[in-house]
Amino acid sequence: MTAISHSPFSATVLGLPRVGPRRELKRATESYWAGKIDAARLHETARALRRDQYTELISAGVDSVPVGTFSYYDQMLDTAALLGALPDRVAGIEDPLDRYFAAARGTESVEPLEMTKWFDTNYHYLVPEIGPETTFTLHPDELLAQLAEAIELAVPARPVVIGPITFLKLAKTTGAAALDRVGELVPLYQELLRRLAAAGAAWVQIDEPALVTDLTADELAVLRGVYTELTASANRPAILVATYFGHPGPALEALAGTEVEGVAIDLVAGADVADVAAVPALVNKLLVAGVVDGRNVWRTDLDHALSTLATLLGSANSVAVSTSCSLLHVPYTLAVETQLDDALRSWLAFGAEKIAEVRVLAAGLNSGTESVAAELAAARAAAASRKADPRIGNAQVRARLAALGPDAVRRAPAEQRRTLQQGRLQLPPLPTTTIGSYPQTSAIRLARAALRKGEIDRAEYVRRMRNEIGEVIALQEKLELDVLVHGEPERNDMVQYFAEQLDGFAATELGWVQSYGTRCVRPPILFGDVSRPAAMTVDWITYAQSLTDKPVKGMLTGPVTILAWSFVRDDQSLADSARQVALAIRDETVDLQNAGIRIVQVDEPALRELLPLRVADQQAYLDWSVHAFRLATSGVADSVQVHTHLCYSEFGEVIDAIAGLDADVTSIEAARSHMEVLDDLNASGFDAGVGPGVYDIHSPRVPGVEEITGSLRAALEAVPAERLWVNPDCGLKTRGPAEVEAALRNMVAAARSVR
């Protein structure tokens, strides 16, 4: 084998989306699961998608192409498979693809791996389980096959793997501290490097996003040790360590002190040129400068990026232009969007447009700005149009926010509110309720599709939705729940539904982004000042309330969650955007109150997700997010009961914030953690109403009365009866109607017997 050249490259991206521009992989994978196509067809779809991506990248002038960021489900799961760390419970499944999917989504008899958020993005990864029984072994065939396929297509391929530090820190380890196992992984990575070099890879990218979180001195020492050992191995490709989603902090110095040939730095979310200049040892490395935002949709300020790049050339001998992170987090291309107005479109860059920006910047850096004068002028014109657009600054919204005093986020003391509310609601002890949504039946989905295609008119759509609401109210009456909901049939998605009705947001047609596996979302784009042209939920909720004497909750999504699940504007702080959204939600709660609604619920399932990765940044976030929630919920009278719902039970750093929300009732997930979370809540000083989910809605299993009674008794150990509510742990939209009815019947029976 002849020696491979490690010459630096000039233009790249850190990773690629994989679901396909028209979600082709999603469709093929689901067909495979349904037994409609075989594995060969699935592989062929995947191959064709990769081929198209490579062609696009090469014709755009990218001279180093990431290979191996393709995945049939998730990159952490791929890494677990690569390192022989799939859980034992799937080992009996013969076929490797089916074994892989079993670990991802479970089977009748096998529990899947847990899923959680990938850093502070909306992408979910599968959490590898590493126990004393795990023996790591290398299985590089899939990656080698993708490499061979790329080389065959004459692609300048740079294989990508998740690094050992990130893999272990993100896994669930039992029996030892996570990084204690790193010594077992190093020889496997060394072997992998050897195999990749032998297969023709000149560079390998090792992703270590965990380096942008707070690392202890010991962890930094491990980092240094690992990369010293990896670089010491013979016959290896040049190593690019990729950090992203924030500032690598002291990890940058640690990496610079090793022999790695390149470091990728996120210059959008994290570091700036001064941080790089402060680490002189970077001078001999290839600096892969993430100046094009890989996770938001705004067009790059090319002048600013070029000046960043030029300054970096003073601190490193070679600089390559890149996206700040993988393009996994943005839609494929703007080209297919037909509904965006020209101004808005000119402010945006999706995947394909970002790749073009990378090329322009590389050309500007290497051949002078004159060579890209036209592109620079276009970017400047777009930026000017964005600044001047009246939708960006709504004087009325700004004046209202400026005029709000401290009383705007204050309600009467909780005890006082409790008395007023109880007087009005007359609820029994241990009131029963649900989180909001009822099963999204195919009738509901068909009606929505028919409306979109113009097959039915708005009046017919409303008629069908009201029909659904009527059925959900009747069911709840029959089951004798105490606090009812309308079931949310009219909501495609809890954020999109509101974004579509608020000024300042735009929707895409094909802006799909992978959320996990084959599930994709289409985040709305928050581009301007937010205002509410008309009430958004009042008709539905009052209709539901007209069908029953029991209180119906008005259901809203909170400002933090709306931001977390949108692409947000980058020209003002998140805190400022949150206040604008909060004001719109506040107006809605007041309208609901004025229409006679006695309870409003403002869901904030994403409160914890947006928590900054570094501890030093967390308090400021918690301050503004709690403020935004209170702004959204303090406009109503003290006699209106405010509920919130949080989708998780591991509160960790956000626990104090939950009491700070000052909601009258908070429903949380607790079934899987056996109510232990209630003690943590109490310890944080929380003393309002709480509805710890008494059964897990993520499973199709119907819980028995005994089991729910047990959960309630456990909850009563921690929470006095006056504060305890009885509810499932999340919305019911993904469940089947029969299961839901049976489970709720048992829940009501359990509440009765405990009363």
Q: Which active-site residues does the annotation give? A: 698
- Crossing angle (nearest 10°) for helices 39-59 and 24-33: 170
Smallest gap from Cβ 649 to ligand GLN, in A, equals 13
Rounded CA-CA distance 750/740 in Å is 15
Binding mask 619-658 for ligand GLN (x = CB under 6 A): --------------------------x-x-----------
Binding to ligand GLN by residue 605, rule CB under 6 A?
yes
The piece of 90-98, 429-437, 469-477, 505-513 that touches ligand GLN (CB under 6 A) is: 429-437
Residue type, 585: I
The torsion of the CA quartet 30, 35, 36, 41, rounded to 10 degrees, works out to 80
Binding to ligand GLN by residue 251, rule CB under 6 A?
no
Binding to ligand GLN by residue 437, rule CB under 6 A?
yes
142 or 609: CB nearest ligand GLN: 609
The piece of 380-388, 435-443, 694-702, 707-715 that touches ligand GLN (CB under 6 A) is: 435-443
207 or 729: CB nearest Zn ion: 729
630 or 733: CB nearest ligand GLN: 733
Smallest gap from Cβ 434 to ligand GLN, in A, equals 7
Nearest Cα neighbor of 304 from 273, 348, 342 is 273
Query: Taking CB positions, which residue lies at the least distance from ligand GLN?
Result: 731
387 or 698: CB nearest ligand GLN: 698
CB of 476 within 8 A of CB of 433? Answer: no
494 or 585: CB nearest ligand GLN: 494
Indicate the SS3 state at residue 142.
helix
**Burial state string for 245-280 with b = 16 or more CB within 10 A and e = fewer than 16:** bbbbbbbbbbbbebebbbbbbbbbbbbebebbeebe
SS (H, E, C) 637-657: CCCCEEEEECCCCCCHHHHHH
Which of the listed partners (Zn ion, ligand GLN, none) does 660 bind, with a CB threshold of 5 to 8 Å by partner kind? none
Smallest gap from Cβ 555 to ligand GLN, in A, equals 5
Smallest gap from Cβ 731 to Zn ion, in A, equals 6
Smallest gap from Cβ 64 to ligand GLN, in A, equals 39
Which of the listed partners (ligand GLN, Zn ion, none) does 190 bind, with a CB threshold of 5 to 8 Å by partner kind? none
Which of the listed partners (ligand GLN, Zn ion, none) does 156 bind, with a CB threshold of 5 to 8 Å by partner kind? none
26 or 733: CB nearest ligand GLN: 733
Smallest gap from Cβ 97 to Zn ion, in A, equals 32
CB of 99 within 8 A of CB of 87? Answer: no
Counting runs of H as helices and runs of E as strands, what totals does the chain give? 27, 20
Residues between 549 and 588 with contacts to ligand GLN, criterion CB under 6 A:
555
Which of the listed partners (Zn ion, ligand GLN, none) does 658 bind, with a CB threshold of 5 to 8 Å by partner kind? none
Smallest gap from Cβ 186 to Zn ion, in A, equals 40
Q: Count Cα neighbours of 170 within 13 Å in the Cβ-side half-sphere.
A: 30
SS (H, E, C) 174-202: CCCCHHHHHHHHHHHHHHHHHHHHHCCCC
The torsion of the CA quartet 436, 440, 444, 446, rounded to 10 degrees, works out to 150
Q: 331: which DSSP letter?
A: -
157 phi, psi to nearest 5 deg:
-80, 140
Indicate the SS3 state at residue 408.
helix
324 or 557: CB nearest ligand GLN: 557
Binding to ligand GLN by residue 494, rule CB under 6 A?
yes
Smallest gap from Cβ 521 to ligand GLN, in A, equals 12
Nearest Cα neighbor of 431 from 740, 712, 731 is 712
Binding to ligand GLN by residue 435, rule CB under 6 A?
yes
The piece of 79-87, 146-154, 395-403, 430-438 that touches ligand GLN (CB under 6 A) is: 430-438
Residues between 263 and 322 with contacts to ligand GLN, criterion CB under 6 A:
none
Which positions lie near Zn ion, rule CB under 5 A? 605, 647, 730
Nearest Cα neighbor of 498 from 530, 468, 469, 529 is 530
List 731, 735, 747, 751, residue binding ligand GLN (CB under 6 A): 731
Number of residues that bind ligand GLN (CB under 6 A): 13
359 or 486: CB nearest ligand GLN: 486
Residues between 471 and 490 with contacts to ligand GLN, criterion CB under 6 A:
488
Nearest Cα neighbor of 185 from 248, 232, 227 is 227
Rounded CA-CA distance 133/180 in Å is 14
**Burial state string for 87-106 with b = 16 or more CB within 10 A and e = fewer than 16:** bebbeebeeeeebbbbbbbe
Residues in contact with ligand GLN by the rule CB under 6 A: 435-437, 488, 494, 555, 603, 605, 645, 647, 730-731, 733
